Amino acid sequence: MMKKILTYILFSSVLLLGGCKDFLDLPPKNQRAVTTLNDVKSALAGYLDAFVRTNTKPIIGPSPIITEAQNMMFEAYSDNFDFAGNMSQYINAKNIHAQEKFYANKLLFNDTETTDYIWNNYYAAIGFLNALIDQCDNLKDADPSELKRVKGEMLVHRAFYIFKLQQYFVPMDKEELGIPLYLHTGQEEIDIVMDRKKSSEIYRVVTGDLKAALEYYQSEGPNDGFNRFFNARFIQNLLAQVYWFKAESSAKESTDYEQAKVYAEAATKDVDALIPNTLVAFQNVQRNLNPDYPAVYQQSVSFGMLMPIYGSNLDYIGYSPNSLKVPADFFSLFDDTDIRKAAYFTGSVMSSTWPDGMVNGQKHIRIHLFTPEEAYLILTESQYRLGQQDQALATLNKFKGFRGAKAKAGLNGTELLQEIVNERRKEFFCDTDKRWLDLKRYNIGNIERKLRFFNKEYTVKVEAGDYHYALPIPLTELQENPAMVPNMGWNPIVF
């Protein structure tokens, strides 16, 4: 039986329990009474603080919201690097940043530690937010405007975590294999079964929560000193992402691209002057030096955590990995005038100053959520999918102009769609999970690797749309949750 949610919340780190049910059915530990709106805000502030200060970890959930290990795993599971050509740099006595097992797990699609972390921490955050959202509904004497601002903030965060779990762990073509989800109301429920929901049901929850938050924002506006995700542009940006991704899934509806277009247009309104169009401005955004740039920024606490995949900041004194190669077909996509080419590469190899332009690049993970660039490219594709090809090409060329890339002419049909996909690949190089999600969504992820680890040859072949594009459900979840259906195909490698 699901325990009744009392007026308590977690104020310490959640233990990694047996399954998502343990997070969604949130029992009180190290308790503090939550009886007023200020209590809810105080609890939420301990989570939101990590979105304000880079040296702070939240009281619950991942830190940062997309971790270094997560970023590197999705890059390793993608096609932007020539990993076979870089092996001598990765497995190298001068590489002090990672051991051979790290690369074996990442490059052979065997990183269960990271997938387990995502599952556990994202569900823990959802459970935490569920409990506080429930409590908001019981605060009858609270200021109604501030209550909407606080609840709206939490609805957007919860929607983000649910959406990401759906993107990561659910096959694109299996309607019945959505993620498990229970949004309790604080009332006692009996015999709750944590089975996999239909994907369409999950998307209804996500879009419903975001639209409710948007209504709260439009009626009340933000508390600028408190809110982080509760922002009309950010909410509409996330709605555009959700409808865009959903439109190619088993849950697709005929109106998805129209909805994606509406919200992408709203998210890009009056942003052109804020999008960087020079190399220095582009790099300054990466360092969070432009306070007007309309996105939520997070930076990892630990210096240099991305070096194992993206290159050592100590390459100038001979440490590996350095001068990392990318596939020739990817490099050839960049015009010489493209500011991204100068930001990413030295010659044809990865620049040691990526991503920030600083000598001996710092290699923090730098996350920008809800960027106008992402909304622009969603708008472009939505126009294309709605048969507005001339508008799509015009929007695409406008976007290319921000980056100094050459405009295209005469593109239509599949050529235009391919150019949109290529533009996304250039724009989101090394950006969290985006290329892996594109390989999944566009059904284009064919990868074959023959690599040697621990004096043994390994071959991994990933075909477009196969099981590699729905991450493995953690073993603890399968053991503790009899209703859970696994993602088939995964067989962990023991080195």
Span 418-460, pLDDT tens digits? 999 999 999 999 999 999 999 999 999 999 999 999 999 999 9
Please report which confidence band the pLDDT of residue 284 belongs to, taking 50, 70 and 90 as the band edges: very high
CA distance 103 to 453: 9
Please report which confidence band the pLDDT of residue 185 belongs to, taking 50, 70 and 90 as the band edges: low
- Read off the tokens for 453: 């680890």
Strand partners, 14: none
CA distance 222 to 149: 6
The least confident of 84-93, 295-304, 458-467 is 295-304
Q: What is the pLDDT of residue 6?
A: 33
Percent of the chain past pLDDT 90, that is, above it, reads 81
- Nearest residue to 158 (alpha-carbon basis) of 210, 93, 119: 210
Q: Evaluate if residue 159 carries a pLDDT over 50.
A: yes
Fold adopted by 275-443: 1.25.40
- Read off the tokens for 100: 């051979």
Pairing of strands 366-369, 349-350: unpaired
pLDDT, average across residues 266-291:
96
pLDDT, average across residues 78-86:
98
Percent of the chain past pLDDT 70, that is, above it, reads 92
Mind listing the pLDDT tens digit for each residue in 247-257? Answer: 999 999 999 99
Q: What is the pLDDT of residue 358?
A: 83
Pairing of strands 366-369, 296-299: antiparallel
Q: What is the pLDDT of residue 482?
A: 92
When comparing pLDDT for 365 and 241, which is higher? 241
Task: Encode 82-108: b = buried (16+ Cβ within 10 Å), e = exposed.
Answer: bbeebbebbbbeebebbeeebbbbbbb
Q: Which residues, including other chains, have CB under 8 Å from residue 144's CB and lie 6 or more apart?
A: none
- Read off the tokens for 467: 């099981």
The answer to whether residues 377 and 442 touch, using CB atoms and an 8 Å cutoff, is: no
The least confident of 199-213, 230-244, 341-355 is 341-355
CA distance 186 to 184: 6
CA distance 90 to 83: 9
Q: Where are the alpha helices (DSSP H) in 49-82?
A: 68-76
Q: What count of residues does the chain have?
A: 495
The least confident of 160-169, 185-194, 276-285 is 185-194
Q: What are phi and psi of 61, to 5 degrees?
A: 90, 180
Q: What is the pLDDT of residue 18?
A: 54
The least confident of 12-21, 231-240, 338-347, 393-402 is 12-21
pLDDT, average across residues 345-360:
88
The answer to whether residues 436 and 106 touch, using CB atoms and an 8 Å cutoff, is: no
Q: Which residues, including other chains, have CB under 8 Å from residue 249's CB and lie 6 or more apart?
A: 172, 173, 199, 203, 441
Q: What is the pLDDT of residue 415?
A: 98
CA distance 471 to 136: 34
Q: What is the DSSP string of 444-475?
A: ---EEEEEEETTEEEEEEE-TTSGGGSPPPPH
Distances (CA, A) of 68 to 44, 300, 375, 424, 438: 24, 7, 24, 21, 19
Q: What is the pLDDT of residue 230?
A: 98
CA distance 170 to 470: 5
Q: What are phi and psi of 289, to 5 degrees?
A: -95, -5
The least confident of 2-11, 242-251, 357-366 is 2-11
Q: Evaluate if residue 10 carries a pLDDT over 50.
A: no
Check if 20-63+113-267 and 275-443 are the same fold: yes
CATH for 20-63+113-267 (3.90.1150.10, 3.40.50.150, 1.25.40.390, 3.30.420.40):
1.25.40.390
Name the one residue in this structure whose structure tokens are 């993206």: 310
Q: Which residues, including other chains, have CB under 8 Å from residue 94's CB and lie 6 or more apart?
A: 318, 319, 320
Domain range summary for the chain, segments of one domain joined by +: 20-63+113-267, 275-443
- Read off the tokens for 351: 């620049």
The least confident of 33-37, 38-42, 140-144 is 33-37
Q: What is the pLDDT of residue 362?
A: 67
Between helix 144-169 and helix 112-136 the angle, nearest 10°, is 160
- Nearest residue to 423 (alpha-carbon basis) of 409, 433, 435: 435
Between helix 112-136 and helix 37-48 the angle, nearest 10°, is 160
- Nearest residue to 272 (alpha-carbon basis) of 352, 148, 376: 376
Q: Evaluate if residue 36 carries a pLDDT over 50.
A: yes
